[in-house]
């Protein structure tokens, strides 16, 4: 996607320096900083500290992390066991997003199918870059399949703005290109459909107000930032036509883990008869589990992310303490929306209902 006229992705491999480079998302929208990932420790730090974040991007970063681990192993003359244990460390960086394990495992098995260190390094890099390109294409497809949902509402409203609420950042910053939840929105906007996006600020780290608002603004999409608690109110007043969110992990039966607060939006949407769609590439499905509430591990992050708020202050990014210094805080990073509250999934293969049967009809290769 374009940032001030320049094509950008949140991650890329620079062939000249042979280095993985990423946008450091912690400082957006106020500072656009590029960071090199040259070691596995750098990569783990980037994933844990949310230099990179969002399910597909974490997957792509983990995938390139396998390549980095092989280069380091080769430099040290280390054996296969070393690479396997480095990959385990990568997979432990964040617990909820499915794409991380999927990306690391896929590149690891491509590498292990070769015999020599040099061939393994090449295979890992090739496979990781295939994943990056595939996710970009998947998001483009999600945009195409999601478009008719927005078109239909626009037609019904006779061209009046289609008001879409989204939570967190499931945009191109989280996904290589287009985004998951935002892909249908960008596609509709690019085809001259009148869209307006309600952007949940998404406390504590404000991925909505910092990242989604920045992305949409750079693309020229009308949007308004709202507090996380405003969704129910604006839905009751007819100001939301559609909710689209992304997901970090979705069970084969359609339970959806996504950024904390998603579940409350789904409840409010159901109470107000508003369609609630979840957009995801197939890499985000966990085909092994059916009960999201019992089986999806929910990350608990540093309470200081709740206690402090970051923003621009006198021209520099700074953070301030909000609650009393000694008040404890609890930082549950995700929640699970049960399938019964989901209108449908928008995937790279099409749109389906939120039942195991409907999902498997789109992905018959996943039937056991
Ligand atoms: O903690 P984050 O910022 O990595 O969480 C991201 C989300 O919850 C996104 O909504 C999710 O990854 C959707 S897919 C782009």
Digit-coded pLDDT (tens) for 32-55: 999 999 999 999 999 999 999 999
pLDDT (average), residues 325-346: 98
Q: What's the pLDDT at 165?
A: 99
Confidence label for 288 from pLDDT (cuts 50, 70 and 90): very high
**Any ligand 1 atom below 6 A from CB of 180:** yes
pLDDT (average), residues 49-63: 98
Q: What's the pLDDT at 342?
A: 98
Nearest ligand 1 atom, CA 55: 12
Confidence label for 247 from pLDDT (cuts 50, 70 and 90): very high
For β-strands 249-251 and 242-245, DSSP reports them as: unpaired
Taking 80 as the threshold, does the pLDDT of residue 204 lie above it?
Answer: yes
The CATH class for the domain spanning 2-134 reads mainly alpha
Q: What's the pLDDT at 140?
A: 98
Helix/strand/coil for 342: coil
288: exposed, middle or buried (Cβ count in 10 Å: 0-12, 13-18, 19+): exposed
Q: What's the pLDDT at 209?
A: 98
**Any ligand 1 atom below 6 A from CB of 55:** yes
Confidence label for 1 from pLDDT (cuts 50, 70 and 90): confident
Confidence label for 75 from pLDDT (cuts 50, 70 and 90): very high
**Any ligand 1 atom below 6 A from CB of 175:** yes
Helix/strand/coil for 293: helix
For residue 246, how far is its CA from the centre of ligand 1 (angstroms)? 7
**Any ligand 1 atom below 6 A from CB of 174:** yes
Taking 80 as the threshold, does the pLDDT of residue 113 lie above it?
Answer: yes
Read off the pTM: 0.97
Cα 201 to its chain centre, rounded Å, is 15
Beta-bridged to residue 318, according to DSSP, are 311
Q: What's the pLDDT at 260?
A: 98
Q: What's the pLDDT at 207?
A: 98
Taking 90 as the threshold, does the pLDDT of residue 368 lie above it?
Answer: no
**Any ligand 1 atom below 6 A from CB of 246:** yes
Nearest ligand 1 atom, CA 171: 15
For residue 174, how far is its CA from the centre of ligand 1 (angstroms)? 7
For residue 149, how far is its CA from the centre of ligand 1 (angstroms)? 22
Confidence label for 5 from pLDDT (cuts 50, 70 and 90): confident
Residues marked as catalytic: 248
Residue 366 is given by DSSP the state G
For residue 304, how far is its CA from the centre of ligand 1 (angstroms)? 19
**Any ligand 1 atom below 6 A from CB of 52:** no
**Any ligand 1 atom below 6 A from CB of 248:** yes
Confidence label for 4 from pLDDT (cuts 50, 70 and 90): confident
Taking 90 as the threshold, does the pLDDT of residue 352 lie above it?
Answer: yes
Q: What's the pLDDT at 282?
A: 97
Nearest ligand 1 atom, CA 284: 14
Cα 40 to its chain centre, rounded Å, is 21
Helix/strand/coil for 16: coil
Give the domain ranges of the chain: 2-134, 142-366
For residue 55, how far is its CA from the centre of ligand 1 (angstroms)? 6
* Residue reference for tokens 């604006």: 234
Q: What's the pLDDT at 56?
A: 98
At the fourth CATH level, the homologous superfamily of domain 142-366 is: Translation initiation factor eif-2b; domain 2 (3.40.50.10470)
Q: What's the pLDDT at 79?
A: 87
Residue pair 354/339 in contact (Cβ under 8 Å)? The answer is: yes
Helix/strand/coil for 284: helix
pLDDT (average), residues 61-66: 98
In tens, the pLDDT along 77-87 reads 988 899 999 99
Angle between helices 80-91 and 55-76 in degrees, nearest 10 = 150
Nearest ligand 1 atom, CA 334: 8
């Amino acid at each position: 996607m374009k940032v001030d006229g320049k094509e950008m992705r949140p991650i890329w491999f620079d062939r000249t320096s042979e280095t993985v480079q990423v946008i450091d998302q912690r400082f957006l929208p106020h500072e656009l900083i590029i960071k090199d990932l040259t070691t596995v420790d750098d990569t783990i730090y980037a994933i844990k500290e949310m230099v990179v974040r969002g399910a597909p991007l974490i997957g792509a970063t983990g995938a390139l992390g396998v390549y980095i681990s092989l280069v380091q192993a080769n430099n040290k003359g280390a054996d296969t066991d070393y690479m396997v244990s480095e990959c385990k460390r990568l997979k432990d960086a964040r617990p909820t997003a499915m794409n991380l394990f999927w990306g690391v495992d896929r590149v690891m098995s491509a590498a292990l199918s070769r015999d020599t260190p040099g061939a393994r390094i090449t295979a890992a890099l090739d496979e990781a870059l295939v994943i990056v390109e595939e996710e970009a294409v998947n998001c483009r497809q999600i945009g195409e399949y999601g478009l008719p949902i927005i078109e239909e509402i626009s037609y019904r409203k006779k061209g009046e703005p289609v008001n879409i609420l989204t939570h967190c950042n499931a945009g191109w910053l989280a996904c290589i290109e287009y985004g998951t939840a935002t892909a249908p929105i960008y596609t509709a906007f690019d085809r001259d459909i009148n869209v307006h996006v309600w952007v949940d600020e998404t406390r504590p780290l404000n991925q909505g107000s910092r990242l989604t608002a920045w992305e949409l603004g750079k693309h020229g999409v009308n949007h308004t930032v709202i507090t996380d608690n405003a969704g129910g109110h604006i839905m009751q007043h007819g100001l939301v036509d559609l909710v689209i969110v992304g997901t970090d992990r979705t069970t084969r039966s359609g339970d959806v883990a996504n950024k904390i607060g998603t579940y409350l939006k789904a409840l409010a949407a159901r109470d107000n008869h508003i369609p609630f769609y979840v957009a995801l590439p197939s890499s985000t499905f966990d085909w092994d589990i059916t009960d999201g509430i019992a089986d999806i591990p929910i990350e608990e992050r540093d309470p200081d992310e709740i206690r402090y708020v970051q923003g621009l202050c006198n021209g520099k990014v700074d953070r301030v303490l909000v609650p009393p210094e000694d008040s404890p805080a609890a930082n549950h990073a995700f929640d699970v929306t049960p399938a019964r509250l989901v209108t449908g999934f928008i995937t790279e293969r099409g749109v389906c209902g939120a039942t195991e049967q409907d999902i498997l009809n789109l992905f018959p290769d996943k039937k056991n």
